Structure 1
Amino acid sequence: MSTEYKDVRQHILDTGMAIISGKGYAAVGLNEILTSANVPKGSFYHYFKSKEAFGEALLDYYVTSYLAHLDEVLRPDGTPAARRLMAYWSRWRDTQSDCCPDGKCLVVKLAGEVSDMSEAMRLALLRGTTLICERLAASIVEGVADGSLPGPYDAPHTAVTLYQMWLGASLLTKIRRDRNALEAAMLATAAMLKLPADTIHA
């Protein structure tokens, strides 16, 4: 794959990401993305077979970027795993309670919209969320090993339960336009992990 190919394809993805993060998938037409990216429609179909294929690639790209950030937050750095895990939830609370679409979770934004619309995009979301939960479960296991999480836990089940709770809290935040659901999720996370309430300030 040539550098030029990768650069143009990436430019289309970056442009689409910025627009779709604010408006959603169905509300955004290809013309809007291509006009903003200054790319002709014929060139778009050189990189993506359809808008659905673009949406799938966009979700894969988002998940790859998200996992890289998650790995950076959770990677062993000499601090307790519990502190790093709570820092992840703390950042989620702070970014998802902001009204600005920048930094908003694309899974929260698109899951309900595209899962019934596109099987390919649903599967991209499923792959991505599965990988996220695996990372969280590994961090829980590490926390038990280093003594920062009291345990015992069923780490995979706990990770999925926490992730589901935070997705739901993020959706309620969009509906209510306040951060109460995310604050409640922080408290519930600390309780589920058997940590003191002051851990939410990690």
Structure 2
Amino acid sequence: MTSATNSSIRLDKRDLILAKGAQVMTRRGYHGTGVQEIVQAAGIPKGSFYHYFASKEDFALQALEHLYAPRLVRYAEALGNPALSPRERIVGYYRELMVHFARQEKPEYHCFIGSLSFEMAELCQPIGTQVESILQRSVEILAQCLTAAREAGELPAETDCAALAEFIGNAWEGALMRMKVGASAAPLNVFLNQLERLLTPR
């Protein structure tokens, strides 16, 4: 077996642990999840966990990046689509997400970053810092698209795009939380309707 093959197997196993372990930690919480639960979900011996992660905290930090780095790439691609106007990119992105949740008989949203932020942001500085970094990167992507919308005349010239991106991002996270609590996509409909009004040229 070549070293390249060994490296691929190692990477695949690490990704499996990250994916399965994050699912468990999202449902049970950071404190409610032990290494034993993580390895059971991944179907690996407990000793294998420590080949990849120094601790449960290290696992959580790596899982955040593993899950959200690709999502941020997709977000940037969607909001950078040259075939659509900046406003169409933003509204279209959130409309697609809303349609996804609306298709579910009982809308469910299990958010790893949300779970960690509520439970651990104040208790563990490295995790809080990582969560904030991911959220800030998302806001910056949106702010860039809003700036393009302003330059295209789709927003007033005096628009503070950074502040508007923060507001939209926070509103979306709040709508997702309300959807989870109420098991209804209605908060997402409200969000989208207000987003369209907010981004309609005047």
| TM band (smaller chain) | 0.7 to 0.9
Give how far 1:25 is off: 3.2
For 1:36-185, what aligned pairs fall within 5 Å after superposition?
Answer: 36-95=41-100, 98=104, 99=106, 104-147=110-153, 149-152=154-157, 153-185=159-191
Using the alignment, how far apart are the partners of 2:50 and 2:196 within structure 1? 48
Greater displacement, 11-20 / 135-144: 11-20
Greater displacement, 7-16 / 20-29: 20-29
Aligned residues: 194
Unaligned runs of 5+ residues in structure 1 are 197-202
Would the alpha carbon gap of residues 95 and 109 (structure 1) be closer, same or farther in structure 2, given more than 3 Å must change?
A: farther
Instruction: Say whether the 8 Å CA contact 2:139–2:169 is kept in structure 1.
Output: yes
Instruction: Say whether the 8 Å CA contact 1:96–1:170 is kept in structure 2.
Output: no
Would the alpha carbon gap of residues 117 and 94 (structure 1) be closer, same or farther in structure 2, given more than 3 Å must change?
A: farther
Deviations 1:124-172 (A, max 9, x none): 110000000000000111122334x232311110000110111111111
2:22 is aligned with 1:17: yes
Deviations 1:32-84 (A, max 9, x none): 22122122221111211111110111111122021121022112332111111
Calculate percent identity across the aligned residue pairs: 24
Would the alpha carbon gap of residues 95 and 191 (structure 1) be closer, same or farther in structure 2, given more than 3 Å must change?
A: same
Using the alignment, how far apart are the partners of 2:172 and 2:121 within structure 1? 18
TM norm structure 2: 0.84
Using the alignment, how far apart are the partners of 2:67 and 2:112 within structure 1? 7
Greater displacement, 185-194 / 125-134: 185-194
Unaligned runs of 5+ residues in structure 2 are none
The amino acid across from 2:74 in the alignment is H
